[in-house]
Amino acid sequence: MTKKSLGQNFLSDKNILSKIVESGQISKEDIILEIGPGTGNLTNKILDQAPKHLIIIEKDKELINILKKKFGKNVEIINQDILECYDNFKYNTPIKVFGNLPYNISTKILISYIKIKELKKRFNKFIFIFQKEVADRILAKDNSKNYGRLSILSSWKMTPQKVMDINPKFFSPKPKVWSSLITLTPNIKFEQLKKEKSLEHITNIFFNQRRKMIRKPMKQLFDNYEEIATKLNIDLNIRPQNLSTKKYLEICKFYEKLI
């Protein structure tokens, strides 16, 4: 019996599993973390590539028993909630993270990783399956309807890339919506902030009122909002989706002077 509350939609199609693994370009030196291995279908494919070390984190105790029987000592099996341990793995080489993510917490997982300070040093690549609608938001560029918080946060520190969309028929049980496989590669250079959570805070304020002109959130953030808008060359009559990630980061820098 699969558990809907844990977002259990399993993949067993060999071609799709191969495509996921290919997207991660696994080498013999790689340390891999897999989030939510389920019954271990993707885990098996990853193991075929003989990485240096494979850690799998699964919240469901019943599945842990299956995974232990299947993989024994070849894999480090952890029965925990990923949201409590996503940052527990510290190695000298950056880790690759795979996951056909549980949909109810997929954006939480992504944002938790983005907020890790030295992301590039710690993580080499993320190979994730999201609901297509979420992937579209991650990949969106400014001036488009899907552009928002997730696009800005993701492109701040990473380069997201679409690999392919996946038809619901390939999952069991079959979900109602399409999914997308994407990779996110941490960038060497990105705008440093005093606090990793500042950009999340700023974008929350702007996109909570996505149809309103940005005058309103700017006024909410700064007493001298008109002066700041002039300095940053921002028109206060545009809407949040018309501001580039670069401009959000500039706004964030001003905000950080206040805190």
Interface ranges with ligand SAM (CB under 6 A): 6-11, 35-38, 41-42, 57-60, 63, 81-83, 100, 102, 105
Q: Are 87 and 118 in contact (CB under 8 A)?
A: no
Of 22 and 226, the one with the shorter C-beta distance to ligand SAM is 22
Q: Which residue number places its CB atom closest to ligand SAM? A: 36
Q: Are 222 and 254 in contact (CB under 8 A)?
A: yes
User: Alpha-carbon distance 167 to 143, whole Å?
Assistant: 28
Q: Are 119 and 112 in contact (CB under 8 A)?
A: no
Q: Measured from the CB of residue 11, what is the shortest distance to ligand SAM in angstroms?
A: 4
Of 63 and 221, the one with the shorter C-beta distance to ligand SAM is 63
Q: Measured from the CB of residue 104, what is the shortest distance to ligand SAM in angstroms?
A: 7
Of 125 and 152, the one with the shorter C-beta distance to ligand SAM is 125
Q: Measured from the CB of residue 80, what is the shortest distance to ligand SAM in angstroms?
A: 7
Phi/psi for 128 (5° steps) reads -125, 145
Q: Measured from the CB of residue 20, what is the shortest distance to ligand SAM in angstroms?
A: 8
Q: Measured from the CB of residue 130, what is the shortest distance to ligand SAM in angstroms?
A: 10
The residues, any chain, with a CB within 8 Å of residue 143's CB and separated by 6 or more, are 241, 242
Of 62 and 227, the one with the shorter C-beta distance to ligand SAM is 62
Q: How far is CA 177 from CA 104, 174, 227, in A?
A: 13, 9, 45
Q: Measured from the CB of residue 98, what is the shortest distance to ligand SAM in angstroms?
A: 8
Of 54 and 82, the one with the shorter C-beta distance to ligand SAM is 82
Of 41 and 209, the one with the shorter C-beta distance to ligand SAM is 41
